[in-house]
Structure 1
Amino acid sequence: MLIAQITDTHIKLPGKLAYKKVDTAAMLKRCVDELLTLDPQPDLILLTGDLVDLGRPAEYDHLKSILAPIRQRIIAIPGNHDDREAMRGAFHAEGYLPTEGKFLQFVVEDYPLRIVGLDTLIPGEGGGELCAERLEWLDRTLAQKPDVPTLVLMHHPPFITGIGHMDKIGLKGSDGFAAVMERHRHVELILCGHLHRTIHAQVGGRPAMTCPSPAHQVALDIDPEAPSCFTMEPPGFMLHWWNGRRLVTHTAVIGSYDGPHPFFDANGKLID
């Protein structure tokens, strides 16, 4: 099974730029075009939050129009820039989001990997939270099928990254989340967004990682006093390949680059 993860698309109303600089819509279109060239094609697309920039219904309409060429199923969780009710309205037809309730948390059980989506949103705030109610739901949900390999999706990473300004808007309840992970060794991977770049960590003994954005990236500045900045590094997404025994992750860079070039000539000799 091949899964594509896209995160932090930050789609605005048509014609609007993020931070008066980033054409997030055009960059997501490039990402979609890149996905459509993959062979083999992903079986599933995951969107790990900050789908739009201001949580407006019209932004979700614009997002869905850009994603329309994708024929695979798309599963999305909210980020801090999202609005629960607007997102519920935009994705209700896909059938996995709860139709009522405080949180957009869900389980998808149609694939070799069980997919558990978490809602870390605090309305109006940049940081996230897994409160006692959300953690209890997660613990109970994971306990239902302890023998099924599972992916956990969440927007805010449950670990300190070292990038100071992002850690200040990190995840409340991360210790409780780590305790849950300690009890559920069948969690193969925790997939996150929010950081707009690739970062790996261990949480409760389980692997966790963030994903690059198809638009702008958070500046790499390992400093507790790091200023809040972004860069226009090469955009990307991730491919997670489940081979039936373990999960292998690749970071895909979006854009046209020189190559591919062969290592060996027509006679099988290394080109030197």
Structure 2
Amino acid sequence: MQFSDTHIAPPGGLAYGRVDTAAHLEKAVAAVDRLSHAPLAVLVTGDLANHGDDEAYRHLRALLAPLRCPVYLMPGNHDDRAALRRAFPEHAYLQSNNSTDADGFIQYDIGFPGLRLLTLDTVIPHASHGSLCAKRIGWLADRLAEAPQTPTIVALHHPPFRAFLDYMDGIGLREGSDALADVVSRHPQVCRILCGHLHRSVQTHWAGTLVQTAPSTAHQVWLDFSSGGAKGFGMDPPGFLVHAWVDGEPLVSHLMFNERFEGPYPFRGE
């Protein structure tokens, strides 16, 4: 399961003075509970808080608490690593003495039945765009070399490809995409690259694999392909991605919406 770009504010706050991101996340969490199968885990691919403050992360913690599965958090450009760690001290994978490097990057390795998850930290403090330095790329290369036969998901906040959303592309992954492509193309076990940041469900073939971004659980970037476009957001139906697999079979992803709709109805009719 993949949530992204939750942009939680302190209780009572609105993102951009307009969006009740907490109410939307509550609906997303409720939608997970309606699924026919309980998830093994929920991955949240960045921009967890709207401004990276302690109160917002405490609010996020409370909103995610009803999920009855492990939750794995990743930082995005709106996040603050130190505040995130303070709010979730029992999440060992976030702590710098566990699975992050000496610079404090939040990168970790999680094993699921028949599948592996490796996360990359693309954050540059106080910047909107992302970067992958040699240390972060080297960590990924070393982890991939450990298990070349295990199907692997690589997750990062900033997508490494051009989405033709001009403003968002300008604050995408500015450094390190070529080095990332080189590592990924040499490791065919990478079956998917999962990202956030774009606030839309977007897919493309890149470096020999599929790259996929999740929608926001709240507001979506406005679909505008014009020069200088995609500077704003709209209230398209919010949602998240459901990733499903059986050991030995390909990963399959579904787009799920927060809202509860009518149905199911039988296909047979009068």
Q: Shorter-chain TM-score category?
A: over 0.9
- Which of 211, 216, 229 is 2:232 aligned to? 229
The residue type paired with residue 229 of structure 2 is: A
Q: 2:116: which partner in 1?
A: 114
Contact 1:181/1:203, CA 8 A, preserved across alignment: no
Q: 1:63: which partner in 2?
A: 60
CA distance in 1, matches of 2:85, 2:182: 30
Deviates more, 1:14-23 or 1:100-109: 100-109
Q: What is the CA-CA distance between 1:72 and the residue it aligns to?
A: 0.1
CA distance in 2, matches of 1:214, 1:110: 24
- Which of 35, 38, 42 is 2:39 aligned to? 42
Q: 2:245: which partner in 1?
A: 242
Q: 2:155: which partner in 1?
A: 153
Q: What is the CA-CA distance between 1:133 and the residue it aligns to?
A: 1.4
The residue type paired with residue 155 of structure 1 is: H
The residue type paired with residue 219 of structure 1 is: W
- Which of 127, 132, 139 is 2:134 aligned to? 132
Q: 1:268: which partner in 2?
A: none
**In structure 1, the residue corresponding to 2:154 is in which secondary structure?**
strand
Q: What is the CA-CA distance between 1:264 and the residue it aligns to?
A: 0.8
Q: Structure 2 length normalisation: TM-score? A: 0.94
Task: Please list the CA deviations of residues 46-95 of structure 1 after superposition, one character each: whole Å capped at 9, or x if unmatched.
Answer: 10000101111111110010111111000111100010111122233122
CA distance in 2, matches of 1:110, 1:155: 21
* Residue pairs, 1:1-272, within 5 angstroms: 4-100=1-97, 101-102=102-103, 103-171=105-173, 172-244=175-247, 245-265=249-269, 271=270
Q: What is the CA-CA distance between 1:111 and the residue it aligns to?
A: 3.6
Q: What is the CA-CA distance between 1:223 and the residue it aligns to?
A: 2.5
Contact 1:165/1:228, CA 8 A, preserved across alignment: yes
Q: Note closer, same or farther for the CA distance 1:26–1:247 as it changes in structure 2 (3 Å cut).
A: same
The residue type paired with residue 138 of structure 2 is: E
CA distance in 2, matches of 1:76, 1:184: 25
Q: What is the CA-CA distance between 1:225 and the residue it aligns to?
A: 1.7
CA distance in 1, matches of 2:230, 2:169: 12
CA distance in 1, matches of 2:66, 2:126: 32
**In structure 2, the residue corresponding to 1:239 is in which secondary structure?**
strand
The residue type paired with residue 265 of structure 2 is: H
Structure 1 unmatched ranges of 5 or more: 266-270
Deviates more, 1:78-87 or 1:94-103: 94-103
Larger radius of gyration: 1
The residue type paired with residue 180 of structure 2 is: F
CA distance in 2, matches of 1:108, 1:57: 26
Deviant stretches of 4+, over 6 Å: none
Q: Calculate the aligned-residue CA RMSD, in Å.
A: 1.3
Q: Note closer, same or farther for the CA distance 1:60–1:121 as it changes in structure 2 (3 Å cut).
A: same
Contact 1:98/1:106, CA 8 A, preserved across alignment: no
Q: Structure 1 length normalisation: TM-score? A: 0.93
Structure 2 unmatched ranges of 5 or more: none
Identity, % of aligned pairs? 45
**In structure 1, the residue corresponding to 2:88 is in which secondary structure?**
helix
